[in-house]
Amino acid sequence: MKSIVVELSEFLITVRDGADVIRQIVDCGFGRQEGADNTPPVLTDGKLSSWKRKADYRSATYPKPHGGAPMD
């Protein structure tokens, strides 16, 4: 069974295929705390949005004026 486990308190995401760890993403930032339950805004209905997790993403803004800074 494939799974993704997000540990907010450890700033860690673990991707598993059965008992095998396929990938661990460490030192994750989940955004600032909001709301009465302190749910980070990146979590919606218990789902983690990963729309900007790209291996070779580059900033469109920094460095000024034209961007291009690596954000791996």
69 in Cβ contact with 63 (< 8 Å): yes
CA distance 51 to 7: 19
**Eight-class DSSP state of 14:** E
Ordered per-residue pLDDT tens for the chain, 72 residues = 999 998 877 888 999 999 999 999 887 776 655 555 555 555 556 565 555 566 677 888 888 888 888 876
CA distance 57 to 72: 6
